[in-house]
């Protein structure tokens, strides 16, 4: 299969290697001539994936149109808030056979759209040609060929199957699904919950608190999912609980680490600089909260993250914000 991956960040580069190890020929597109030159000439991306040697089947270019033309699978791995702008030049240009895949875990500010919705709209293709891949997939571990799994969701099962075949490598096992909404929400929401776990850790709280946040975080994710038409079981799977656990446990997660910095008293600006890369939850928490309010869904943790990161509330207030709410039934 011929594949293209847009975005030479940690996950885009790693996923290109996974697809090459699954037997695809893969073109990577990036905006940085230096990164692209290093991938093309030396098979390395030392800025975003240091120490990793890429398979020979991965090539790179700064030419967006040439990279995206004539491929079976077009994968997008950019920061969520930049997708619409970056892909605008490709609107209406993709051949009918090209399936588009989102690797992104965010919700667009302003429109509240999930990334598959943004892709279908900006590329002017049917939503049945868009798939999403999500799960516990910390890029550095997968780049080191540590065993991992993910969910490939698409409206049509045959599309999910095609994408699963394109990325099934000896160390990477994709499962197919048709709940695009649930799989995407699981990915976007776990970033917000990981921020809360990080903040709690930064304040010195231990594993009881972490388990409370993970469990109740999943409950609020599932509430939003139910309102948006997701299947409840999806949140018990790899793209729900699986990704939430990995992200909330791992120091490799940028959302988790950023939360820990803020919990320890660092400003958001300094924490963003310290973590580098893309901590999607920082922006997506606002669109998620707006989406929840529009559907009458109570999301106290998301609300607390927005209050601390964007409304000037001291992180020390977070415990009271969450624990002083009226008592309720666990299933409520
Ligand atoms: N890093 C990881 O372990 C995983 C990341 N993801 C998701 O994948 C998406 C991408 O993440 P990463 O690759 O980790 O991000 P990253 O921060 O490592 O890289 C982002 C890439 O996008 C490029 N970029 C940023 N703005 C751009 C623009 N306006 N035009 C063109 N290129 C632009 C950057 O130069 C960089 O190459 C995010 O939604 C993230 O949540 C999903 C699973 C795992
Ligand atoms: O999505 C991820 C793991 O599945 C990566 O998490 P971060 O974006 O927080 O680094």
CA of 105 to the centre of ligand 1 (A): 10
DSSP states along 171-218: TEEEEEES-HHHHHHHHHHHHHHHHHHHHHHHTT--HHHHHHHHHHHH
pLDDT digits 0-9 by tens, 24-83: 999 999 999 999 999 999 999 999 999 999 999 999 999 999 999 999 999 999 999 999
In this prediction, residue 135 has a pLDDT band, given cuts at 50, 70 and 90, of very high
Alpha helices in 43-102 (DSSP H): 64-68, 83-87
> Does 190 show up as a binding residue in the annotation?
yes
Residues 6 or more apart whose Cβ sits within 8 Å of residue 261:
198, 202, 270, 271, 274, 275
The C-alpha atoms of residue 306 and residue 314 are separated, in whole angstroms, by 11
Most informative mutation of 81, 239, 246, 275 for ligand 2 (most atoms within 8 A of CB): 246
Instruction: Report which protein residue has its CA nearest ligand 2's atom 7.
Output: 253
Of 61, 16, 53, 57, the closest CA to residue 37 belongs to: 61
Beginning with the edge strand found earlier in the chain, give each strand of the sheet holding 58-61 in spatial order: 58-61, 25-29, 2-6, 73-76, 99-102, 130-134, 148-154, 172-177
In this prediction, residue 11 has a pLDDT band, given cuts at 50, 70 and 90, of very high
Q: What is the mean pLDDT of residues 244-257?
A: 97
At residue 170's C-alpha, the angle toward residues 20 and 106, to 5°, is 65
Q: What is the mean pLDDT of residues 93-115?
A: 98
Q: What is the mean pLDDT of residues 295-313?
A: 98
The C-alpha atoms of residue 308 and residue 196 are separated, in whole angstroms, by 10
In this prediction, residue 277 has a pLDDT band, given cuts at 50, 70 and 90, of confident
* 3-state SS, residue 148: strand
First to last CA, the chain: 47
Please give the model's pTM, rounded to 2 decimal places.
0.98
* 3-state SS, residue 136: coil
C-alpha to C-alpha distances, 40 to 53, 55, 180, 190, 311, nearest whole angstrom: 12, 11, 34, 34, 44
Tokens representing residue 155 in the block: 């409206």
What average pLDDT does the structure give for the chain? 97
Of 103, 48, 113, the closest CA to residue 75 belongs to: 103
Pairing of the two strands 172-177 and 99-102: unpaired
Ligand 2 surroundings by CB, under 6 angstroms: 105, 136-138, 191, 194, 243, 246-247, 253-256, 280
Can you give the pLDDT at residue 331? 86
Can you give the pLDDT at residue 237? 98
Q: Provide ipTM, 2 decimals.
A: 0.98
The one catalytic residue among 190, 210, 283, 328: 190
At residue 299's C-alpha, the angle toward residues 188 and 80, to 5°, is 20
Q: What is the mean pLDDT of residues 146-158?
A: 98
Q: What is the mean pLDDT of residues 195-205?
A: 98
Q: Note the ligand closest to the C-alpha atom of 284.
A: 1
Q: In order of start, what are the domains of the chain with their CATH numbers?
A: 2-178 (3.40.50.720), 181-323 (1.10.1040.10)
């Amino acid at each position: 299969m011929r594949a293209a991956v847009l975005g030479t960040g940690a996950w885009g580069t790693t996923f290109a290697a996974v697809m090459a190890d699954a037997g695809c020929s893969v073109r990577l597109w990036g905006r940085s001539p230096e990164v692209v030159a290093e991938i093309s000439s030396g098979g390395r991306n030392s800025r975003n994936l240091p120490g990793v040697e890429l398979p020979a089947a991965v090539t790179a270019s700064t030419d967006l149109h040439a990279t995206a033309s004539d491929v079976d699978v077009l994968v997008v791995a950019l920061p969520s808030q930049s997708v619409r702008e970056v892909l605008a030049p490709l609107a209406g240009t993709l051949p009918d056979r090209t399936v588009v895949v989102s690797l992104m875990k965010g919700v667009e500010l302003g429109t509240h759209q999930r990334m598959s919705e943004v892709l279908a709209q900006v590329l002017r293709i049917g939503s049945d040609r868009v798939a999403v891949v999500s799960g516990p997939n910390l890029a550095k571990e997968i780049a080191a060929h540590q065993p991992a799994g993910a969910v490939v969701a698409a409206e049509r099962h045959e599309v999910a199957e095609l994408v699963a075949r394109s990325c099934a490598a000896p160390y990477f096992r994709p499962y197919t699904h048709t709940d695009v909404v649930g799989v995407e929400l699981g990915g976007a929401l776990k970033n917000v919950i990981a921020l809360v776990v990080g903040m709690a850790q930064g304040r010195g709280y231990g594993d009881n608190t972490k388990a409370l946040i993970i469990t109740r975080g999943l409950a609020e994710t599932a509430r939003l999912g139910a309102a948006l038409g997701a299947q409840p079981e999806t949140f018990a799977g790899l793209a729900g609980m699986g990704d939430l656990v990995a992200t909330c446990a791992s120091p490799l997660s940028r959302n988790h680490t950023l939360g820990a910095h803020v919990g320890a008293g660092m400003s958001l600006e300094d924490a963003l600089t310290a973590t580098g890369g893309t901590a999607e939850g920082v922006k997506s928490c606002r669109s998620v909260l707006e989406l929840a309010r529009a559907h009458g869904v109570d999301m106290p943790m998301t609300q607390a993250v927005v209050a601390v990161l964007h409304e000037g509330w001291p992180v020390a207030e977070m415990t009271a914000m969450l624990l002083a709410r009226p008592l309720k039934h666990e299933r409520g």
